[in-house]
Structure 1
């Protein structure tokens, strides 16, 4: 059975879905996106993703083609039509397809935004990497300055993933002015002396929805959280390290640039936070 996707108001088999060659998402990476996880057929943290999407659109002066309540129903309908129990819903909005390629933004009254959604089936809970931990390398952060906007400009993060794979590792942590910003597709954390340390919010990192939930749950569990910059050397000397994202939830990091973190196995803080996140997300799923 062909996967059903959503394109500009229509639910279509994926092999019938089309976007114009003049679409600015294709030509200019002029678009934003969100990925909402699905567990037990329910959407996880949808409200946070919708609010961040609205912010990204505002920051880029881009029109939304649908209202947020309508967007929720589109997500639910795609989950239903594709019988999705576990995985995610990918959403992308671009500035649309003007009559021709031009650096100047098209008039939104003439060129409507393009919206595309599709589902992806993935095993999110039963993750081997969550049980063994992952290995990361450090790379220079060469992305543009507005990483707080979730744009489709993902070339350098993709290159970072490939650098990690070439080095026999799983991911890369990016470093700017001597301090860790984040992973290629995730927020990064270390644990030292029982304190969870992660980069503070700013234009240097994505304001992760899972990050916000994890830090809230950590504080509710009486864990101490410090939001500040840290170096790779500090990370290598940490008791634990981990990442968070919408599709990995909480994933331990056991090696950074060849240095073993802690015992070399997933630590208790990361494992407990993953457990709490899964439990609370299932209760709150939409």
Structure 2
């Protein structure tokens, strides 16, 4: 059954959804995006996603396509039309269509707004029970990873290479320290129970799930250090995990073939996943 896709004010069957070949998102990756989780037909952390969208738009001087309330209504309508009880809603904002030129087009060029849904099981992920394996790779992305742009070619290359090596994802490494995963934030738990994760900067995406998990971890009494950590620290950790809108909290059980801890999901990660899902469901809109 065909999905309904939102394109610039219209709800269309996906086979009829079109965008201009001159759209700058297509020509220059001149676009940003957000992915919001749907659980029980409701949206998770929606206001936080809108705040990050505003920041991304501002950093790139991209026009705002609609108000938060209008975007909320579109998200809800898409979820309803596609019968999404559990899954994701992807939203992309581009600088719009204009003749190809490295210069930005005039400021009155209308932005393009596209949204679509993906139905998938999120709460009951097999990887939450088994853990995932990661392979380390050099971080060759551009320097403004804090802006959620659609420039995702290198992360796609890295994940594809990781799978070729027998892993599930890649952890990217720069100047000897882990930055993040291909589409997620990276965390470790030390032998003394301290949660360590990279501090916010231009080097990593300011993850919405990351922020929620750190808040819940602090509320539960876990000691937290926001700092860089090396690949060797990660391999010596008691536990490791990733966070993202689609993964929630997933344990990492091996890095470059070396087991993390005892090579199985640990109690800290299992607890963080449990309390995150409970809070997400409670606060969904």
TM-score greater than 0.5 by the shorter chain: yes
Match of 1:254? 253
1:151-179 CA-to-partner distances (Å, cap 9, x unmatched) read: 00000000010110110000000011101
SS class of match (1:144):
coil
> After the TM superposition, which parts of structure 1 deviate over 4 Å for at least 4 consecutive aligned residues?
none
- Partners of 2:107 and 2:180 lie apart in 1 by 34
- Partners of 1:8 and 1:240 lie apart in 2 by 44
What are structure 1's unaligned runs of at least 5 residues?
none
Match of 1:28? 28
Match of 2:266? 267
Match of 1:112? 110
Match of 2:148? 150
- Partners of 2:17 and 2:164 lie apart in 1 by 34
Question: Deviation at 1:69?
Answer: 1.2
- Partners of 1:139 and 1:158 lie apart in 2 by 12
Match of 1:180? 178
Q: CA RMSD of the aligned region, Å? A: 0.6
Question: Is 1:52 equivalent to 2:48 in the alignment?
Answer: no
Question: Deviation at 1:2?
Answer: 1.9
Match of 2:216? 217
1:197-241 CA-to-partner distances (Å, cap 9, x unmatched) read: 000000000000000000000000011110000000010000000
Match of 1:74? 74
Question: Deviation at 1:108?
Answer: 2.5
What are structure 2's unaligned runs of at least 5 residues?
none
Alignment of 1:81-160 (within 5 A): 81-98=81-98, 100-109=99-108, 111-160=109-158
- Partners of 1:141 and 1:114 lie apart in 2 by 30
TM-score by length of 1: 0.99
Match of 1:61? 61
SS class of match (1:37):
strand
- Partners of 2:107 and 2:17 lie apart in 1 by 23
- Partners of 1:95 and 1:147 lie apart in 2 by 19
TM-score by length of 2: 0.99
Match of 1:235? 234
SS class of match (1:33):
strand
- Partners of 1:32 and 1:61 lie apart in 2 by 11
1:113-150 CA-to-partner distances (Å, cap 9, x unmatched) read: 00000000011011011100000011110000000000
SS class of match (1:189):
strand
